[in-house]
Chains A and B, each alone.
Chain A
Amino acid sequence: MINLQTELKESIIEQLNLEDMEPADIGNDEPLFGDGLGLDSIDALELIVLLEKDYGIKLTDPAQSREIFVSINKMAEFIEANRTK
């Protein structure tokens, strides 16, 4: 069974069309936004949809997402604590 981190990386690559990337290219603690992977606010909205679709977590305020989408590890932590599916 693949772990949550790898699963997340795979869905992020697919959802955000990071065509030339492999899950191994994303570090677990690498910043997803800004200087790290370089995602932007549109990607953040896409990730909010992903949280709801795959894990049943509904965020209502996009500002909330900034603290969650820091890195793969932070996202995984949040998902483990709040997932409904």
Chain B
Amino acid sequence: MNRGVAVTGMGIISAIGNNTEANYRSLLSKESGISFPEILNTTHKNIPVGEIKFSNKSLTEASELPKGHSFTRAALLGSIAIKEALEQSKVKIDAETGFISGTSVGGIDATENHFKEFTEGKTENNRFIRSQHPGFTTEKIAGHFGITGFVSTISTACSSGANAIMMGARMIKTGKLKRVIVGGTDCLTKFTLNGFNSLMILSDKHCRSFDENRNGLNLGEGAAYLILEAEEELKGKPVLGRIMGYGNANDAFHQTASSENGEGALLAMQEALKIAKLKTGKIDYINAHGTATKNNDLSESRALQRLFGENVPDFSSTKTFTGHTLAAAGALEAVYSLLSLNKQQIFPNLNFSRTMNETGLEPVTELKEKKLDFILSNSFGFGGNCTSLIFAKDEG
């Protein structure tokens, strides 16, 4: 029997709270974290974002880092989420503890700040020269928690965090690791804000996932991590939920856009169901990718209709709370999925008023109490990267 890989800890920081409990309270009270940028030093002060209202200085203090450290903002956020996850799972970090982190732009926030100095040959801040490369951020976090064994980074744009969870689950299943910290972190940067702005897919309002009149996404920032442990390591420990299935496929359609029929998304969901040995009817809720771009939401909806036919399960996009946190999104949404399983509640899709003409699909728009056994979570990214994860309630 496929019992799935056990999750024994989780931690999160996002625009709607700096720990799991705070995130849960915001989800319950339909309190969105979308605001205008105050911390990010950008000229685009009128573009709404899901910003975490802590400066790097206060995040540094929260993690008690020494002066002159070279943590990027993504490393600062990641450390806070991992600390919470470790406290919950009470694992001890040893040589057989792995760490797999998803990040899209890593520490490019530091590169933005120092690029001109470096081109002028100034060496004062040269400890940030390697920060641009995602492995740097991962290594800072690894060092902070004393992780010396298997450490790696996945960077597949917006599905990075979900792919890190998948990789960790596979490493536990194949016996390569006894325990592993998996998830993702990305901070708001000028690089990504301007990048998405140049693609003309940022909304000037709070994003309206799956709505006929949606007009783009809100960029967000955050970090979330799970602790996965092998069965023989559990020794009666509480299990938050299990990773039953995972699938990754490539749309192979366009560099950034999703195919209109959602082929890659469909293949990823099918593979996840196959690994989980589940029929479509078993899925009780879908935490959708639902970025609120014209393209994604239509493509994802079509994929849902192709897979589930007339019986598309309850679904919602929690990006309406947090914004699209890029590489962290899959990890944030894994935490929300696990919360849903534990509380037996579906969190709503905000800002929705009209179904799409093409599909007529309506997301869950109010908090919904329901028996939830299996939840599917989607994460799609540039380069056609599509990942689906299936979480199950622990049967004890």
Contacts and interface: CB of A to CB of B under 8 A. Distances in A.
- Answer whether A and B touch in the complex at a CB cut-off of 8 Å: yes
Interface in A1-51: 40-42, 45, 48-49
B256 A49 contact: no
Contacts of B199: 45
Nearest to B257: A41
Interface in B246-279: 254-257
A52 to B, nearest CB: 11
A60 B198 CA distance: 11
B65 interface: no
A40 B200 CA distance: 15
A49 B194 CA distance: 13
B200 A62 contact: yes
A41 B254 contact: yes
A60 B200 CA distance: 8
Contacts of A48: 200
Contacts of A42: 255-256
B198 A45 contact: yes
Interface string B168-205: 00000000000000000000000000000011100000
Contacts of A60: 200
Contact of B198 (A40, A41, A49): A49
A59 to B, nearest CB: 9
A70 B254 CA distance: 21
A35 B256 CA distance: 21
A81 to B, nearest CB: 22
A48 B200 CA distance: 10
A40 B255 CA distance: 11
Contacts of B198: 45, 49
A45 B200 CA distance: 8
B157 to A, nearest CB: 15
B199 to A, nearest CB: 6
B148 to A, nearest CB: 43
A40 B198 CA distance: 16
Contacts of A40: 254
Interface string B222-262: 00000000000000000000000000000000111100000
A45 B257 CA distance: 13
Nearest to A65: B200
A49 B198 CA distance: 9
A31 to B, nearest CB: 19
B158 to A, nearest CB: 18
A41 B255 CA distance: 10
B151 to A, nearest CB: 35
A1 B127 CA distance: 53
Interface in A51-82: 60-62
A40 B257 CA distance: 11
Contacts of B256: 42
Nearest to B201: A62
A48 B201 CA distance: 14
Nearest to B215: A61
Contacts of B200: 45, 48, 60-62
Contacts of B255: 42
Contacts of A49: 198
A42 B195 CA distance: 13
A51 B246 CA distance: 44
A16 B66 CA distance: 48
Contacts of A61: 200
Nearest first, the 8 A-B pairs at minimum CB distance are A62-B200, A41-B257, A45-B199, A45-B200, A42-B255, A45-B198, A41-B254, A48-B200
Interface of B: 198-200, 254-257
Interface of A: 40-42, 45, 48-49, 60-62
13 contacts: A40-B254, A41-B254, A41-B257, A42-B255, A42-B256, A45-B198, A45-B199, A45-B200, A48-B200, A49-B198, A60-B200, A61-B200, A62-B200
